[in-house]
Amino acid sequence: MTQQAGVLYVVATPIGNLDDLSPRARRVLAEVDLIAAEDTRHTARLLNHFGMRTPLLSLHDYNEAERAPRLVERLQTGQSVALVADAGTPLISDPGYDLVRAARAAGINVSPIPGPCALIAALSVSGLPTDRFVFEGFLPQKTAARHTRLGQQVRETRTLVYYEAVHRLAESLDDMAQVFGGARPAVIARELTKLHESMRAGTLASLAEWARTDSHAAKGEAVVLVSGAATASNTADADSDAVLAVLLEELPLKQAAALAAKLTGQKRNMLYQRALKISKTKNPSR
Ligand code: SAM
């Protein structure tokens, strides 16, 4: 009889608050034969907190290529392995890619135990559009490379999400303000799920200024979210809304829409609907 292969579990762990370790993650971490961890001392503290004694093996960027095939061999002999990062979801700007690729190529069952992830947590509370977004991970550390990368993203209309080391936050925000324009709206999500959790929204210019001058900005961990570039159609909508808002100060809805249609060249019916929305926002009782 051939040996039944083990399962490789990709387990998300807390990004701050230990209560965010799910019951299923706890069970898997307690039951697997081995935990492959980015930093074994860090994960040992998590295991101690929950009274677990599962053996640990380090798996980080510098040894992953060499360790992945050996871990696959262990999986093939029927052992089960959990992969964890220091915080959040493995492989999301964290090690694990080589191992997951190798395990899948060998036909091993790779199963996710989903949970915390800083980018999703930040996006979900940012107030920026979430229907379409791009995750850009960490920007390059060297200024010239960072500018080049940002330059490639200037026209991106989806919400942009970046991880950033706090000691580079001010510098990166300055570069974003230079490349995307200081008026672009953005949000900084700091220390999520921790004691000093905070969200700060503003223009890139104001956030860069804050990061340069406020000592709190350079502490903890942060996700940077930047509003996507305005598309031609939402720029046109914003322009016609501005025209309508002025006209509605002086004219009834129908006349405001008719005059706005002449001024902007947009359709009168559509402008009437927008005018209706604007006047409802200004006078909710109407
Ligand atoms: N794999 C992790 C995840 O799923 O979120 C991300 C690991 S990446 C090496 C670390 C970066 O994630 C930090 O530099 C920061 O940008 C972001 N991050 C992690 N924890 C965070 C938190 N509690 N609050 C805000 N950002 C956090």
**Cβ 125 under 6 angstroms from ligand 1:** no
Q: Where are the domains of the chain?
A: 7-116, 119-226, 232-282
pLDDT at 36: 98
- Please tell me which residue, 106 or 270, carries the higher pLDDT value: 106
Q: What is the pLDDT of residue 284?
A: 58
Q: Which of 10, 11, 15 to mutate to test the pocket of ligand 1 (most atoms within 8 A of CB)?
A: 15
Amino acid letter, 80: S
Give the C-alpha separation, 170 to 211, whole Å. Answer: 5
> Which residue reads 């107030």 in tokens?
127
pLDDT of residue 278: 76
Q: What is the pLDDT of residue 135?
A: 98
What are the tens digits of pLDDT across the range 49-87? 999 999 999 999 999 999 999 999 999 999 999 999 999
Percent of the chain with pLDDT over 90: 78
pLDDT above 80 for 167 = yes
Domain 119-226 has CATH 3.30.950.10: yes
Give the integer Cα–Cα distance in Å for 99 and 92: 14
Token output for 170: 């001010």
pLDDT digits (tens, 9 = 90+) for 205-250: 999 999 999 887 778 999 999 999 986 566 667 677 778 788 888 8
Whole-angstrom Cα distance, residue 79 to residue 64?
18
Atom of ligand 1 nearest to the CA of 12: 4
The alpha carbon of 4 and the centre of ligand 1 are apart by a number of angstroms equal to 36
The CB of 162 under 6 Å from ligand 1? The reply is no
Strand-pairing partners, residue 222, are 164, 190
Is ligand 1 within 6 A of the CB of residue 16? yes
Of all protein residues, the one whose alpha carbon is nearest to atom 19 of ligand 1 is 118
CA of 5 to the centre of ligand 1 (A): 33
* Ligand 1 contacts CB of residue 247 (under 6 A): no
Q: Is the C-beta atom of 209 inside 6 A of ligand 1? A: no
Q: Is the pLDDT of residue 200 over 90?
A: yes
Name the residue type at position 251.
L
More confident residue, 169 or 234: 169
Rg (CA), the chain: 25
**CA dihedral over 134, 93, 64, 23, signed as positive or negative:** negative
Ligand 1 in reach of 87 Cβ (< 6 A) = yes
* Protein residue whose Cα sits closest to atom 26 of ligand 1: 222
- Find the Cα–Cα–Cα–Cα dihedral 274, 275, 277, 282, rounded to 10°: 140
For 205, the token pair is 């210019």
Is the pLDDT assigned to residue 1 strictly greater than 60? no
Q: How far is the CA of 198 from the centre of ligand 1 (A)?
A: 14
DSSP 3-state of 112? strand
Q: Is the CB of 95 under 6 A from ligand 1?
A: no
pLDDT of residue 116: 98
How far is ligand 1, taken at its centre, from the CA of residue 191, in Å?
A: 9
The CATH topology of domain 7-116 is Cobalt-precorrin-4 Transmethylase; domain 1 (3.40.1010)
Separation of 163 CA from ligand 1 center, angstroms? 7
93 Cβ below 6 A of ligand 1: yes
Residue pair 199/126 in contact (Cβ under 8 Å)? The answer is yes
Answer whether 15's CB lies under 8 Å from 62's CB: no
Q: Determine whether 43 is exposed, middle or buried from the number of CB atoms within 10 Å of its CB (0-12, 13-18, 19+).
A: buried
Q: Is residue 18 within 6 Å of ligand 1 at its C-beta?
A: no
